[in-house]
């Protein structure tokens, strides 16, 4: 045996630093990937990680993962990670790149993800010349879901949705994404590489590194399409699958550089610092008198606040305005708020609803799945959401009688014909404000000045502000009465 005592040897190829040492997977499997033996995704992951290492950008790299077999990029890459909805990675990458100008953003996508459901996103990201790098893993099939045809499936290739082989007459021709995108003026670099043999693999690693390097240099949009084996769905041994890339796939998808405009491109100027919050109104041309009074009546103390309200009704019943006044008042009181309207085609009639959260700390999601207070303007809205109200919560219901089958242990109810009460006060459209009064009395966190400020900001017309203030006062009083009566 030759003397190979380790002291004399140094590592020349080993696990990239941009991978986690161990992966946050199931207990026993934290030392290996979830990919099948011989899967091209693993090989490509290694090329991306090696490029990040070599370019020294691990600290500022952000990987946008797809839906598909490679959904778990965040298990492996020790960089920033975001997992996007199916096909949307280029749009997500765009947002990240623009909001973090120093980030190195890599959109990693399969061929189903990129060329089927995400065909619009990739087209427009490329056409805008976003300064991102897209790694496009073309294995000619939807692998994760068990082998349905993709736009890239070869003519004659069998899949679960083309059991007799893809036919051009039925399913169209394989989509040549790289060639299509190469017709655009913006992209700086588009190359198709393969994992079909040693030579191809070495070239693939070079191309991936180049695509990321161009981003580091600020040159613009790059896409590297990698023809990649999927032994499992192709039902081949890993070695046969590798050869199939070279001997069969490559005939439909020729390898090569389609675009390389690096020499003609000037690097984008270094990003300037983002404007400060204080500068924003000026930059947006907002006049001083139109600025919100923000934090004008900041709540003192540090009692936890986490008010979650769902408001539902028909279009025209003031559902969204009720929510807006609540949220605006929260802002005025210096709290964190979110206001999420939710309406479909029913915007003009039919049901609409909105979610409002008011909290002292950061709000994780604007969705209010289990409201502490439900404001229901009518019976259909009540029936849609009554079961979601959390125990100890309240339902404010606009109706003569609260439906008996909606009563629940531990959920309190204030049911009154608010529309009629509002009518008696001068305009039935103020029903929402009476109900808001009840909510404010229950929540008891928002200072009265903040409500007034919010109303003046949103309602503007002084006659309405006056009516709304009376309506809110009436709502408070009705709730107090109800509490007094038990």
Neighbour tally for 423: CB within 10 Å: 14
Give the tokens for residue 9.
Answer: 């040897």
Q: Does 34 bind ligand TPP (CB under 6 A)?
A: no
232 interface partner picked from ligand SF4, ligand TPP, other proteins, none, CB below 5 to 8 A per type: ligand SF4
Among 174, 231, 323, 372, binds ligand SF4 (CB under 6 A): 231
Q: Does 35 bind ligand SF4 (CB under 6 A)?
A: yes
Q: Does 152 bind ligand SF4 (CB under 6 A)?
A: no
Query: Which one, 232 or 419, has the nearer CB to other proteins?
Result: 232
Among 26, 27, 37, 56, binds other proteins (CB under 8 A): 37
Q: How far apart are CA 210 and CA 21, in angstroms?
A: 26
Q: How far apart are CA 118 and CA 342, in angstroms?
A: 25
DSSP state of 249: I
Query: Which one, 38 or 151, has the nearer CB to other proteins?
Result: 38
β-strand partners of 110: 137
Give the tokens for residue 251.
Answer: 């005939």
Q: Are 146 and 86 in contact (CB under 8 A)?
A: no
Give the tokens for residue 396.
Answer: 């404010």
Helix (H, G, I), strand (E, B) or coil at 453: helix
Give least dist CB 68 to ligand SF4, A.
8
Query: Which one, 40 or 437, has the nearer CB to ligand TPP?
Result: 40
Residue 240's nearest CA partner among 32, 47, 46, 37 is 37
Kindly identify the residues of this chain, within the stretch 171-230, that bind other proteins according to CB under 8 A. 195, 197-199, 201-202, 205
Residue 215's nearest CA partner among 178, 267, 272, 179 is 267
- Torsion (CA) 242, 248, 250, 253 in degrees, nearest 10: -120
Q: Does 174 bind ligand TPP (CB under 6 A)?
A: no
Q: Does 67 bind ligand TPP (CB under 6 A)?
A: yes
Query: Which one, 71 or 322, has the nearer CB to other proteins?
Result: 71
Q: What is the largest CA-CA distance in the chain?
A: 102
Binding range to ligand SF4, per CB under 6 A, among 33-41, 96-104, 204-212, 424-432: 33-41
Q: Residue 149 phi/psi, 5° resolution?
A: -65, 145
Give least dist CB 73 to ligand TPP, A.
11
Q: Does 135 bind ligand SF4 (CB under 6 A)?
A: no
Give the Cα-Cα-Cα angle 414, 299, 472 (nearest 5 degrees): 30
Q: Does 236 bind ligand SF4 (CB under 6 A)?
A: no
378's enclosing H/E stretch is none
8 interface partner picked from other proteins, ligand TPP, ligand SF4, none, CB below 5 to 8 A per type: other proteins
Binding range to ligand TPP, per CB under 6 A, among 65-73, 170-178, 247-255, 364-372: 65-73
Query: Which one, 51 or 91, has the nearer CB to other proteins?
Result: 51
Kindly identify the residues of this chain, within the stretch 36-95, that bind ligand SF4 according to CB under 6 A. 36, 39, 41, 69
Give the Cα-Cα-Cα angle 263, 264, 270 (nearest 5 degrees): 90
Kindly identify the residues of this chain, within the stretch 222-281, that bind other proteins according to CB under 8 A. 231, 237-239, 242
Give least dist CB 313 to other proteins, A.
55
Among 96, 144, 307, 333, binds ligand TPP (CB under 6 A): 144
Query: Which one, 43 or 133, has the nearer CB to other proteins?
Result: 43
Instruction: Name every residue whose Cβ is closer than 8 Å to that of residue 264 and which is 6 or more positions away in sequence.
Output: none
- Expressed in angstroms, the distance from the first to the final Cα of the chain is 92
Q: Are 27 and 213 in contact (CB under 8 A)?
A: no
Residue 382's nearest CA partner among 401, 363, 367 is 401
β-strand partners of 381: none
Q: Are 419 and 397 in contact (CB under 8 A)?
A: no
Give least dist CB 113 to ligand SF4, A.
12
Give least dist CB 116 to ligand TPP, A.
7
Q: Pairing between strand 80-83 and 61-65?
A: parallel
Phi-psi region of 444 (alpha: psi -120 to 50; beta: other; left: phi over 0): left
Give least dist CB 111 to ligand SF4, A.
10
Q: How far apart are CA 87 and CA 120, in angstroms?
A: 9
Kindly identify the residues of this chain, within the stretch 40-59, that bind other proteins according to CB under 8 A. 40-43, 45-47, 49
Q: How many residues bind other proteins (CB under 8 A)?
A: 44
Among 232, 352, 353, 419, binds ligand SF4 (CB under 6 A): 232
Among 38, 65, 111, 386, binds ligand TPP (CB under 6 A): 111
Kindly identify the residues of this chain, within the stretch 57-116, that bind other proteins according to CB under 8 A. 76
40's enclosing H/E stretch is helix 40-55
DSSP state of 59: G
List interacting residues with ligand SF4 (CB under 6 A): 35-36, 39, 41, 69, 139, 143-144, 230-233
List interacting residues with ligand TPP (CB under 6 A): 67-70, 86, 110-113, 117, 139, 141-145, 150
List interacting residues with other proteins (CB under 8 A): 1-4, 6, 8-16, 19, 31-33, 35-43, 45-47, 49, 76, 195, 197-199, 201-202, 205, 231, 237-239, 242
């Amino acid at each position: 045996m030759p003397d190979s005592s380790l002291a004399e040897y140094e590592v020349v190829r080993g696990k990239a630093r941009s991978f986690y040492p161990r992966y946050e997977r199931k207990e026993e499997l934290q030392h290996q990937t979830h990919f099948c033996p011989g899967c091209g995704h693993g090989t490509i992951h290694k090329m991306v990680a090696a490029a990040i290492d070599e370019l020294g950008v691990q600290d500022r790299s952000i990987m946008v993962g797809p839906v598909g077999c490679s959904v778990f990029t965040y298990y492996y890459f020790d960089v920033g990670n975001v997992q996007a909805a199916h096909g949307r990675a280029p749009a997500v990458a765009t947002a990240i790149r623009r909001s973090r100008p120093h980030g190195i953003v890599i959109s990693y996508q399969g061929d189903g993800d990129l060329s089927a459901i995400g065909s619009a996103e990739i087209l427009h990201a490329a056409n805008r010349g976003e300064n991102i790098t897209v790694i496009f893993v073309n294995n000619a099939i939807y692998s994760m879901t068990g082998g349905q045809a993709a736009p890239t499936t070869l003519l004659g290739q069998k899949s679960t949705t083309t059991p007799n082989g893809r036919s051009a007459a039925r399913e169209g021709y394989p989509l040549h994404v790289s060639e299509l995108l190469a017709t655009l003026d913006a992209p700086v670099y588009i190359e198709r590489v393969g994992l079909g043999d040693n030579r191809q693999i070495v070239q693939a690693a070079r191309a991936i590194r180049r695509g990321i390097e161009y981003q580091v240099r600020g040159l613009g949009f790059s896409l590297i399409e990698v023809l990649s084996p999927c032994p499992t769905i192709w039902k081949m041994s890993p070695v046969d699958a590798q050869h199939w890339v070279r001997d069969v796939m490559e005939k439909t998808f020729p390898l090569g550089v389609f675009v390389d405009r690096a020499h003609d491109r000037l690097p984008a100027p270094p990003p300037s610092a983002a404007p400060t919050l204080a500068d924003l109104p000026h930059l947006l041309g907002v006049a001083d008198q139109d600025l919100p009074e923000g934090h004008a009546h900041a709540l003192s103390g540090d009692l936890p606040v986490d008010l979650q309200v769902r408001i539902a009704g028909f279009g025209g019943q003031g559902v969204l305005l009720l929510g807006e006044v609540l949220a605006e008042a929260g802002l005025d009181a210096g709290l964190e708020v979110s206001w999420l309207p939710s309406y479909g085609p029913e915007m003009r009639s039919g049901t609409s609803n909105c979610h409002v959260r008011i909290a002292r700390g950061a709000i994780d999601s604007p969705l209010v799945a289990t409201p502490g207070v439900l404001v229901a303007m009518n019976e259909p809205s009540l029936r849609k959401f009554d079961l979601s109200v959390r125990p100890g919560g309240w339902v404010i219901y606009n109706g003569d009688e609260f439906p008996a089958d909606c009563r629940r242990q531990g959920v309190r109810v204030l049911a009154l014909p608010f529309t009629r009460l509002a009518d008696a006060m001068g305009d039935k459209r103020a029903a929402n404000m009476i109900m808001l009064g009840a909510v404010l009395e229950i929540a008891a966190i928002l200072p009265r000045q903040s409500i007034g400020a919010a109303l003046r900001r949103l309602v503007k017309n002084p006659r309405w502000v006056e009516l709304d203030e009376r309506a809110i006062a009436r709502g408070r009083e009705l709730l107090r009465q109800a509490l007094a009566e038990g």
